């Protein structure tokens, strides 16, 4: 693994295939400076990942305005979210494998968010062939926070798109979104829709289906609710590439995961290793709380108060078959 202090961006993650041959399974850009405005590629996103309606929310009677950077919504923290910040980094000694600690102090009022927010993220490249992400955040005033990693996975090493990747999700419900990709507040079953991955299914089998939920997003860009029996780590997805034999399991303490198939990745985007990307060239499994949570009282809250610690863990575990 290689990591840049710009946005905590993972610029390289190599994983063996069924024959032991290593390949880089994350999309990325040719140079570090190319990651500026690169669609959050394989970077940390926040303060609030995903979308906020009209870039507004009310906290304790005060309305806060976040920059609108995706039409009528605020996306992934505003104009300059955590993906564009330079994080302080230091290696950590860990019996579980090499680890990197990254910290950032987001000042009160940055991008319109209240409170000084101190964030600590630790990436561990575990001996058990897994990438563990641990998040912590504390604040000195009431605020909102929803952190995740926007990794674009391609288990064939980027040689082809991800239509043939087989996906199974431990998620039987989704929060349907409108034309602005914002949730209505409802939680509905995926059964009987092209969003149903409760059984393994090639991503390309239905990604272009004529269904209103897919048409709004131009593919998969949907927040799934994790089926879990209780708190702690729960598996939410299994992604496989039949050609290479690489398999990736996603485990998380978060309540939701956003499935995104790089619908807005421009055709002809220069990538790493001389590759050229476009829509469907990567798939994101962004573990998170639900989009627009500050404006949806029926969703799990992302409010953080002084004296509390926001903490979450996600693990991407790699094997072969």
Q: Is 76 strand, coil or helix?
A: coil
Whether residue 130 contacts residue 248, with contact meaning beta carbons closer than 8 Å, is answered with no
Q: Residue 257's beta-bridge partner residues?
A: 224, 287
| Residue of 236, 243, 240 lying closest to 259 (CA atoms) | 236
| Tokens 């968010």 belong to residue | 113
Q: Is 276 exposed, middle or buried (0-12, 13-18, 19+ CB in 10 A)?
A: exposed
Q: Which of 76, 110, 286, 289 is catalytic?
A: 286
Q: Which of 150, 165, 222, 281 is catalytic?
A: 150
Q: Is 150 a catalytic residue?
A: yes
Q: How many residues does the chain have?
A: 321
Q: Residue 241's beta-bridge partner residues?
A: 246
**What is the C-alpha to C-alpha distance for residues 26 and 282, in angstroms, rounded to an integer?**
8
CA 12 vs CA 9, 23, 145, 186: distances in Å: 9, 9, 27, 38
Q: Residue 177's beta-bridge partner residues?
A: 183
**What is the C-alpha to C-alpha distance for residues 228 and 132, in angstroms, rounded to an integer?**
19
**SS3 sequence of 97-140:** CCEEEEEEEECCCHHHCCCCEEEEEEEEEECCCEEEEEEEEEEC
**What is the C-alpha to C-alpha distance for residues 176 and 184, in angstroms, rounded to an integer?**
7
Q: Is 64 a catalytic residue?
A: no
Instruction: Give the β-pairing of 56-59 and 62-65.
Output: antiparallel
Residues annotated as part of the active site: 150, 286
């Amino acid at each position: 693994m290689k990591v840049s202090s710009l946005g905590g961006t993972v610029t390289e993650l190599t994983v063996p295939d069924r024959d032991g041959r290593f390949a880089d399974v994350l999309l990325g850009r040719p140079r570090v400076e190319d990651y500026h405005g690169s669609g959050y590629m394989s970077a940390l996103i926040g303060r609030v990942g995903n979308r906020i309606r009209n870039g507004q929310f009310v906290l304790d009677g005060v309305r806060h305005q976040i920059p609108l950077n995706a039409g009528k919504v605020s996306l992934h923290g505003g104009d300059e979210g955590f993906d564009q910040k330079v994080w302080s980094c230091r290696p950590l000694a860990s019996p579980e494998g090499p680890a990197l600690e990254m910290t950032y102090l987001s000042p009160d009022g940055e991008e319109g968010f209240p409170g000084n927010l101190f964030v600590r993220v630790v990436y561990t490249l575990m001996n058990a062939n897994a990438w563990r992400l641990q998040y912590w955040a504390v604040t000195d005033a009431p605020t909102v926070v929803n952190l995740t990693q926007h990794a674009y996975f391609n288990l064939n090493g980027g040689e082809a798109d991800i239509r043939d990747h087989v996906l199974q999700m431990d998620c039987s419900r989704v929060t349907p979104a409108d034309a602005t990709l914002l949730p209505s507040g409802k939680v509905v079953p995926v059964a009987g829709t092209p969003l149903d991955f409760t059984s393994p299914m090639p991503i390309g089998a239905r990604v272009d289906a004529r269904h209103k939920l897919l048409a709004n997003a131009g593919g998969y860009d949907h927040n799934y609710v994790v089926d879990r029996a209780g708190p702690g780590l729960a598996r939410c997805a299994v992604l496989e590439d039949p050609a290479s034999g690489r398999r990736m399991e996603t485990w998380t303490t978060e309540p939701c995961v956003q499935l995104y198939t790089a619908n807005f990745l421009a055709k002809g985007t220069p990538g790493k290793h001389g590759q050229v990307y476009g829509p469907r060239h990567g798939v994101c499994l962004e573990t998170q709380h639900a989009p627009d949570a500050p404006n949806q009282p029926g969703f799990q809250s992302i409010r953080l108060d002084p004296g509390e610690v926001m903490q979450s863990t996600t693990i991407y575990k790699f094997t072969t078959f």
